[in-house]
Amino acid sequence: MIYFLLSTLVLAFIFMLPFIRTYSRTTMAIHSNSSFLLHLSLIINALYIGVSQPFIGVNYGQVADNLPAPEASAELLKSTTVGKVRLYGADPAIIKALANSGIGIVIGVANGDIPSLASDPDSATQWVNANVMPHYPESNITMIAVGNEIMSSGEDGLVSQLLPAMQNVQNALNSASLGGKIKVSTVHSMAVLTQSEPPSAGSFDPGLMDILQPLVAFLKNNESPFAINPYPFFAYRSDPRPETLAFCLFRPNSGRVDQFSGKVYSNMFDAQVDAVHSALSRMGFEEVEIVIAETGWPSRGDRNEAGATVENARAYNGNLIAHLRSMVGTPSMPAKSVDTFIFALYDEDLKPGPQSERAFGLFKTDLTMAYDVGLHNSASTHKNPPTSPVTPERETQWCISKVEVGEAELQRNIDYICGSQVIDCGPIQSGGACYEPNTVLSHAAFAMNLYYQNFGRNPWNCDFSQTAMLTSQNPSYSDCVYPGGSI
């Protein structure tokens, strides 16, 4: 029932938007029923915060020697709004611990198992009998990912055996009458694309097309998703400019215009997702669903790994979750949230490679938060959710502009917020209650506070590339009321 209500609200918002709001980039003129849009957006976000969200998932990696017991991890997950979990294998203890939780589970076929599954249908049947049948439906297994990043592994033998393995697993599910209930796919890295900029020019590696064409046809025929791992962190690491960081972290920026489609992108995540969508469309598979099997940001890294900090990890993951909750979608796929699995539940201390590989965890292995990204389920019935120690409730705060910041930077913030199609800036337009004083500083303060209050009231929601600050003094004046709330 709750999802029906949410969907109805979102559809109502989208349907009414063209009639109650018009937006001009050159004049920033927005005419709207301000209370309707603002309150509708607040209602949608409030409802989402109290329920698990099927489009927000997390990766549960196990390359570590200090992980909590599966039962403890299951309780942790149930205390959050995470709706799905992706495993890289099919650990029966974890699958069993998640039974009757309602949390969707993606289980994985190891890369090394692909040859036997491809060559022997009986092997696929045995795999399904061993890893699915003992647990389903009590454990909500929703998909089997056959292999991880095989297409870009350089192992030609595995690449050629990937589709036959997927087909045999699908046939085994069909024989067990689970073909329409559990999907079969595989997970790709962004390296399967040879071009991703601009997004409308996204295209797959021509050298992989002989494999990809029938593989994606298989996905279409079985209504399975195309799963991929976009990481804006890697884009920033190769281009560590301040403007690139803002673009990657969903922070206010000047945006990037796709010169072919004319669409404007305000963040790297949307650009990467739409590049995949363009590549699929170019193959004739526009309708194939995209699932983000991994994305995340490390909280620490080696000295040469630009941007690997707790602050940036909190900003990326927190703003990504807020973006998904907004239901705005991407420029090419508006009004929907792509199912997204954040990497990862815990740090994995045994992973090889640079330090960042061991620093993607949202939670510590003592079950406290590594940093808060707004995943706590306020409606949880679990008596002692395993989160960080509770701090005393803080006073009501508002987000305002820093007085020393230049008008150009503040105007970029206004453009970013008021062009989002979620935040309504009617009160700072001519005739609005907060139009006077007609200054960029005043208008930016009101807009940034709306964004802060609307998207979780977390410190990173009032950063705006260090052009904003929190205050406990109510900035409201005359008839201009700044929404506020306790953190």
DSSP summary character for residue 305: S
Contact 207, 197 (CB under 8 A): no
Residues 6+ apart with CB under 8 A from 351: 61, 63, 64, 357, 358
Tokens of 44: 């949608």
CA–chain centroid gap for 41, Å, is 18
Any idea which residues carry the catalytic annotation?
149, 294
Query: For the domain 49-358, what is the CATH code?
Result: 3.20.20.80
Q: Give the pTM.
A: 0.78
Tokens of 361: 């965890």
* Exposed/middle/buried for residue 204 (C-beta within 10 Å: 0-12, 13-18, 19+): buried
Contact 267, 324 (CB under 8 A): no
Burial readout 306-334 (b: 16 or more C-beta within 10 A, e: otherwise): bbbbeebbbbbbbbbbbbbbbbbbbbbbe
pLDDT in tens, the chain (487 residues): 444 444 445 444 444 444 333 333 333 333 333 344 444 444 455 455 555 677 899 999 999 999 999 999 999 999 999 999 999 999 999 999 999 999 999 999 999 999 999 999 999 999 999 999 999 999 999 999 999 999 999 999 999 999 999 999 999 999 999 999 999 999 999 999 999 999 999 999 999 999 999 999 999 999 999 999 999 999 999 999 999 999 999 988 888 999 999 999 999 999 999 999 999 999 999 999 999 999 999 999 999 999 999 999 999 999 999 999 988 899 999 988 999 999 999 999 999 999 999 999 999 999 999 999 999 886 654 444 444 443 344 568 899 998 888 999 999 999 989 887 678 899 999 999 999 999 999 999 999 999 998 887 888 788 888 888 988 888 999 899 999 865 4
The C-alpha atoms of residue 376 and residue 368 are separated, in whole angstroms, by 11
Contact 127, 120 (CB under 8 A): no
Contact 420, 458 (CB under 8 A): no
Residues 6+ apart with CB under 8 A from 79: 376, 377, 380, 382, 385, 386, 387
The C-alpha atoms of residue 85 and residue 411 are separated, in whole angstroms, by 40
Beta-sheet pairing, 30-31 with 22-23:
antiparallel
**264, amino acid identity:** V
Sign of the CA dihedral with 154 first, then 155, 161, and 167 last: negative
CA–chain centroid gap for 137, Å, is 27
Domain limits of the chain?
2-45+391-486, 49-358
